[in-house]
Amino acid sequence: MTDAAITTVGLTRSYGATKAVDSLDLQVGPGELFALLGPNGAGKSTTISMLTTLLRPDAGSATVAGFDVVRERRDVRRSIGIVFQDPTLDLYLTVTENLRFHATLYDMGRADSTARIRELLELVELGERRDDLVRTLSGGLRRRLELARALMHRPKVLFLDEPTLGLDPRARASVAEQIDGLRASQGTTVVLTTHYLAEAERCDRVAIIDRGVIVAHDTPDALRAQVSPTATLDDVFLHVTGRPIADEEPSLADMGRDTDRQRSGRG
């Protein structure tokens, strides 16, 4: 694949004696909707944390939007958007204020950020709630707002770490629709982690990860065909991961908090 949005070569990260990600080789093309599918503890969040510069790899290399995740961390961060597994909105600010704050962090001018906020609120269908406090929104609407916030600075690559975790089926479907809409309108590369098989079925390509190793990697149709013409991803997933599930790995937000504590000398 040429001009990949993401490339990893031998990417590795351990926690003590446990290898959370083991020699990961991966490429994601521009504009793709790509899924990392696996159980808790499989290495999904650790992979995303390295790609978003929250964790430094122990070995191997990775580039995101053409920038090295170790040597060009600042450029990577300006090129990506992130929706964390755990909510990170300020509940006591309004919808618009949350977006305005993010725009300020990325040095967006007032006129540009105002136009961008209007555009994104229309995209995620929150225009009528622009002046509402975030604490008054449902879980599904907050997820929509987090998507809008991650897109404020026009990132080339959007990372979604378990974006529908804890949402009811209707809210989960709504978030999926929003992801489809932003890809159609923005041309953004989207990488999501999930253990929901229905979410993976919708993606262009799926990498099934187990204990830090990619055990299968292809389009959903091709993965099904490897088992049988009538197989679902349930069958594929069970076929390749017939081992006990490892302990749950830290979430992406947890890793960010750990990094902050280490930098401030509190941990």
**Domains, in order of start, for the chain:** 1-63+156-267 (3.40.50.300), 90-154 (no CATH)
Query: Which residue in 22, 133, 150, 10 sits closest to 79, CA to CA?
Result: 150
224-256 confidence digits (pLDDT tens)? 887 666 666 666 555 544 544 444 555 555 555
Query: Which residue in 199, 183, 251 sits closest to 36, CA to CA?
Result: 199
- In this predicted structure, the answer to whether residue 50 has a pLDDT above a threshold of 90 is yes
Residue 209: beta bridge partners? 214
> 84 pLDDT band (50/70/90 cuts)?
confident
> 267 pLDDT band (50/70/90 cuts)?
very low
> 263 pLDDT band (50/70/90 cuts)?
very low
Query: Which residue in 118, 170, 172 sits closest to 148, CA to CA?
Result: 118
d(CA 192, CA 256): 18
d(CA 154, CA 146): 14
Q: Are strands 205-210 and 33-37 parallel, antiparallel or unpaired?
A: parallel
Q: pTM, whole model, 2 decimals?
A: 0.80
Query: Which residue in 101, 100, 93 sits closest to 132, CA to CA?
Result: 93
What does the block give as tokens for 230? Answer: 């009538």
Residue 167 pLDDT: 75
262 three-class SS: helix
Compute φ and ψ for 213, nearest 5 degrees: -120, 135
Rounded to an integer, the average pLDDT of 204-221 is: 93
Residue 159 neighbours by CB under 8 Å, 6+ apart: 48, 51, 52, 80, 81, 82, 83, 191, 192
What does the block give as tokens for 140? Answer: 């599904």
Q: Are 209 and 37 in contact (CB under 8 A)?
A: yes
Q: Lowest-pLDDT range, 40-54, 107-121, 158-172?
A: 158-172
